[in-house]
Amino acid sequence: MSSTFGGFEIAKRGLNVHQTAIQTTGHNIANADNENYSRQRVNLESMDPLYAPALNRANVKGQQGQGVQIASIERIRNTFYDDQIADANNVKNYWGASSDYLQQIERIFNEPSDNSLRTLGDKFWQSWQELSTYPSDRAHREVVLERGNALTTRMSDIYNKLTDLRHRANREVIADVRTINSLASDIRDLNERILKLQALGDQPNDLMDRRDAAIEKLSGIANIRIGRGDKDEMIVFIGEQALVQGEIQRKLKTEPDATNDGMAKILWEHNDKELILSGGHLFGLMQMRDDAIVERINNVDEFALNIADVVNEIHKDGFGLNGETNKNFFDVRNLSGNSRGIYDLGPQAANYDLNQDGTAEVTAIFRVSGSNTVDPSKPVGVDGTMTFYKNDGNSTPVLVDYSADDTLNSIIKRINDQDAGVVAYMTHDNQLALKGTTAEDDRRTNFMIRHLEDSGELLAGYTGILNASGPQGAFDFRRIDEISKLRAPLQDITLTPIYHPSAYVKVSEEILRDPASLAAARGKDVGGTGDYNQSNGSADGSNALLIAESLKQGKNMIGHSDNAEEFYNAVISKLGTESRTAEDAIQRHEDNLLSLKNLRQSVMGVSLDEEMSNMVQFQHSYNAAAKILNSMDQMLDVIINRLGA
């Protein structure tokens, strides 16, 4: 027979259980605005009944229930949505970093505006045109110098701002790595606490919510993957390495990379291996820092160097009012320590110590023009194969064949279409010129011609670039004194400038001091020397006109564009397209992320109407249990105090 006081225990359990249910409902309501909170539900089950089958059990009918107990306090959450949100958050933050920096790059270039490179370049070109009309007027010469200064100042300003932006991205990379380590530490600590509580049979729902929130933040920074196969430990991977494995954390560190201008590279502390990223804010930052911003710095460098070289090439052939010739309009600082603008330095003029070990090991040449004047529209009359090296890590050979029936124009197009590490064009004197381009591997070798070789006579006897054909006459930048392989005099060779020429190109101090040295007049060859040795006079502005035409309509190959205007238009067009693509991607992935979060909230979110309904239900149940307790008290009062009275 059951205990007289058994009803008290059943009522007490009912009170305790429904009090816990009301408290859980209150916890849900209190966290209704916490987006990281998963609503909790109290799952109830009946207690084990009395009198299990046995020979000595009481002789009563059936089993008597003992009331209710809490089976669990369940966290309502779907990990499928969590994983989808982590992936979407990762992609959104990648595009967020990209869009942020691309927009800042656009603001640096500031197109269109009165102070943009396009506007200042147009004014510079216009000043040369006007000078060609009034070549002897000092005021027009001053305008050319002033606008030249404005252009070089703007190029230097853009370079400095892009460099500052790159350093800011680098600081953000370091900050993101610190954040990853901090979040990983939080996840590791939560793993430890959760595991201990689960071992005691508890359900640490709020700690698990905090861990999921940390994982979601981490997913926005790096491409993480969650391993839930082992119920005793959660694993967070970045790439193929475990960042957190249960109670074990592997930290990341940053170190300056000497091959990348001292920018931070990310390594694992335990094995010094480089972190492999494929998404997230950190990956977007590194792509902006090492690709997008560097590309624009290279663009500005290429623009500045080629503008200076195009103007200098023609300017040196002209004459000033004072009869001066062979003067550069722009000063460009060369890599070679012994190249001081003097043309009698011999084969060592272009030698450069690339590795900074005290010994020169490369020959640094940007442009070389042939010594022969040729008609590019006529067949070359020779057969052969030219060999160039691409500006990649392997210095991949590029072979360009030509035959006797080919014109030089068609061969030039073939070279420029091959991405051969050089571009070719015809100078204003109808000489073939070859120029180096930006490097794909080591940016220190930007604007270096790597290899020139010809099995035939096109580069040697026909155009006069090389002294000899075949491997023995080949120019290779990996050897010193290679300038001796070139037939052109030093005034027709441009040495490779120092790193980032856009920061240093400026109008020549000599010409600024004496505007009469500005070479607006074209010269003439007196005596058949093969060189312009006498001015056409102060009224001649044909050299200024030639410079203007080269800047605007010339085909002097800046990168793989025909001229400065085409090159700069392509740069700005690409930047605008990339920025717009990033903006569209952000909007698309923000919409996707919002949709996924709404779906997740439909599962884990707190509904105030539902919780209020549950609260009323649990309150009634609590009151009913209290009523049972009161009834039992009255019954026992009768038995104890009133029977036999």
CA distances from 242 to 188, 239, 251, 275 (A): 12, 8, 10, 11
Q: What is the mean pLDDT of residues 510-521?
A: 92
- Establish if 457 belongs to a structural domain: yes
**Domain membership flag for residue 157:** no
- Whole-angstrom Cα distance, residue 105 to residue 471? 45
Stretch among 146-150, 481-485, 573-577, 633-637 having the lowest mean pLDDT: 633-637
Helix (H) or strand (E) holding 43: strand 40-46
515: tokens are: 């505007």
Mean pLDDT of 48-68: 70
Q: What is the pLDDT of residue 599?
A: 94
Domain boundary among 466, 496, 526: 496
Q: Mean pLDDT score of the chain, rounded to an integer? A: 90
Among the ranges given (371-375, 386-390, 416-420, 440-444), the one the predictor scored with the smallest mean pLDDT: 440-444
Q: Are 622 and 487 members of one domain?
A: no
Kindly state whether residue 155 falls inside one of the protein's structural domains: no
Span between the terminal Cα atoms of the chain, in Å: 26
Task: Indicate whether 488 pLDDT > 50.
Answer: yes
- Helices and strands in the chain: count of H runs, count of E runs: 12, 23
Q: Say if 282 falls within a structural domain.
A: no
Are 167 and 260 spatial neighbours (Cβ–Cβ below 8 Å)? no
Q: Give residue 333's identity as a one-letter amino acid code.
A: R
Largest CA distance in the chain: 152
Backbone angles phi, psi at 373, to 5 degrees: -90, 125
324 — pLDDT class (breaks 50, 70, 90):
confident
Whether 557 has a pLDDT exceeding 50, the answer reads yes
How far CA 451 is from CA of 151, 388, 389, 422, in Å, comes to: 33, 5, 5, 9
Residue where a domain terminates, one of 496, 522, 538? 496
User: pLDDT at position 531, please?
Assistant: 63
Average pLDDT, integer, range 413-425: 92
In this predicted structure, the answer to whether residue 521 has a pLDDT above a threshold of 80 is yes
Cα R_g (the chain), whole angstroms? 40
Burial of 377 (0-12, 13-18, 19+ CB in 10 A): exposed
State how far the Cα of 21 lies from the Cα of 619, in Å rounded to an integer.
9
DSSP string, 572-636: HHHHHHHHHHHHHHHHHHHHHHHHHHHHHHHHHS--HHHHHHHHHHHHHHHHHHHHHHHHHHHHH
Q: Residue 640 pLDDT more than 60?
A: yes
Q: Can you give the pLDDT at residue 345?
A: 46
- 415 domain-assigned: yes
Domain that residue 362 falls in: 334-496
Q: How far apart are CA 195 and CA 234, in angstroms?
A: 10
pLDDT in tens, 575-618: 999 999 999 999 999 999 999 999 999 999 999 999 999 999 99
Same domain, 492 and 613: no
pLDDT at 343 over 60: no
Greater confidence, 355 or 79? 79
Alpha carbons 432 and 552: distance in angstroms, whole number: 20
Whole-angstrom distance, CA of residue 51 vs CA of residue 35: 48
HSE-CB for 505 with a 13 A CA cutoff = 31
How does DSSP assign 223-253, residue by residue? -EEEE-SSTT--EEEETTEEEEETTEE--EE
pLDDT at 73: 92
Cβ-contact 39, 604 below 8 angstroms: yes
Q: What is the pLDDT of residues 9-53, one digit of tens each?
A: 888 999 999 999 999 999 999 999 999 999 999 999 988 877 666
Q: Which residue has the higher pLDDT, 442 or 414?
A: 414
Summarize the confidence of residues 441-452 as an average pLDDT: 90
CA distance 316 to 326: 4
Whole-angstrom distance, CA of residue 447 vs CA of residue 608: 67
357 burial type by CB count under 10 A (0-12 exposed, 13-18 middle, 19+ buried): exposed
Identity (one letter) of the amino acid at 542? S
- Please give the distance of CA 603 from its chain centroid, rounded to a whole number: 37
Where among 454, 473, 496 does a domain terminate? 496
Is 80 exceeded by the pLDDT of residue 380?
yes
Q: 461-482: per-residue pLDDT in tens? A: 899 999 999 999 999 999 998 9
pLDDT score for 201: 87
Is the pLDDT at 64 greater than 90? The verdict is no
CA nearest to 558, candidates 306, 295, 304: 306
The first and second tokens of residue 382, run together, are: 């020779």
Q: Provide the number of structural domains found in the chain.
A: 2
| Residue bearing tokens 């816990």 | 20
632 and 485 within one domain: no
* Rounded distance between C-alpha atoms, residue 380 and residue 61, angstroms: 116
Percent of the chain residues past pLDDT 90, beyond the cut: 70
pLDDT single digits (tens) 68-122: 999 999 999 999 999 999 999 999 999 999 999 999 999 999 988 888 999 999 9
Predicted pLDDT at 442:
85
Q: Supply the pLDDT for residue 555.
A: 87
- Pick from 580, 579, 549: which is nearest to 565 by CA? 549
**CA pair distance 512, 575, nearest whole angstrom:** 35
507 inside domain? no
Do 235 and 242 meet the contact criterion of CB atoms below 8 Å apart?
yes
Least reliable range by pLDDT among 98-107, 298-307, 340-349, 458-467 = 340-349
d(CA 505, CA 301): 9
Share of the chain above pLDDT 70, in %: 94
User: How many of the other CB atoms lie within 10 Å of CB of 394?
Assistant: 9
Looking at residue 342, what is its pLDDT? 41
Average pLDDT over residues 250-269: 94
Rounded Cα gap, residues 152 and 141, in angstroms: 17
Asked whether residue 446 is assigned to any structural domain, the reply reads: yes
pLDDT tens-place string over residues 201-245: 889 999 999 999 999 999 999 999 999 878 778 899 998 899 999
Report which of residues 16 and 358 the model is more confident about. 16
pLDDT for residue 340: 39
Q: Enter the DSSP assignment of 288.
A: I
pLDDT at 137 over 70: yes
Q: Is residue 108 part of a domain?
A: no
Write down the pTM of the prediction: 0.88
Place of tokens 């147009």: 122
| Predicted confidence (pLDDT) per residue in 144-175, tens digit | 999 999 999 999 999 999 999 999 999 999 99
- The reply to whether 472 and 621 lie within a common domain is no
Confidence tier at 644 by pLDDT (50, 70, 90):
low
